[in-house]
Amino acid sequence: MSKQKIAYWVVTGLVSLSMSASAIMYLMGAPPVVAAFQHLGYPDYFRMMLGIAKLLGVVALWAPVPRFLREWAYAGFVIDCIAAAVSHTAMGDPLMASLNPVIVLGLMLTSHQLWHRLSAASAEPQAATRPAGA
């Protein structure tokens, strides 16, 4: 297995772990999470929607789904991380509250780029073996 493939699985695993853990806490209604959503001014149903969306996004990263679904999962995670960082910064929360989603965002962008590189690399041999004009 190539170093690039190992890096992809490790980074994607970290992103998935982070998103799954937060989704579970959102859906279980962990008191610190509920308090954080209230502090940020978000309604409780938004916490539930985000929890479900995060779990679906994690499934899209690991399941054999069409390419566009995986792209949408990455896009949703990027929007979530940016919104979290902006929300915490706007409320004057401690730096770590804004920094955590930025760190996950960096891991996510790395996962996305590695996925594109691996996808392109696996498509190259197929393109080379196709007859001309096919």
pLDDT in tens, 77-134: 999 999 999 999 999 999 999 999 999 999 999 999 999 999 988 876 655 555 555 5
Tell me the one-letter amino acid at 102. Answer: V
- Which contacts qualify for 108-115: CB closer than 8 Å, 24 or more apart? 108/15, 108/74, 108/77, 108/78, 108/81, 109/78, 110/7, 110/11, 111/8, 111/11, 111/12, 111/15, 111/61, 111/74, 112/74, 114/4, 114/7, 114/8, 114/11, 114/12, 115/8, 115/12, 115/70
DSSP H or E segment with residue 67: helix 67-90
CA distances from 82 to 10, 66, 105, 125, 127 (A): 22, 25, 8, 37, 37
**Cα–Cα distance for residue pair 134/127, rounded to 1 Å:** 10
pLDDT in tens, 34-87: 999 999 999 999 999 999 999 999 999 999 999 999 999 999 999 999 999 999
Neighbours of 43 (CB within 10 A): 10
Domain residue ranges of the chain, discontinuous segments joined by +: 3-121
Name the token pair of 101. 């989603």
| Model pTM score | 0.86
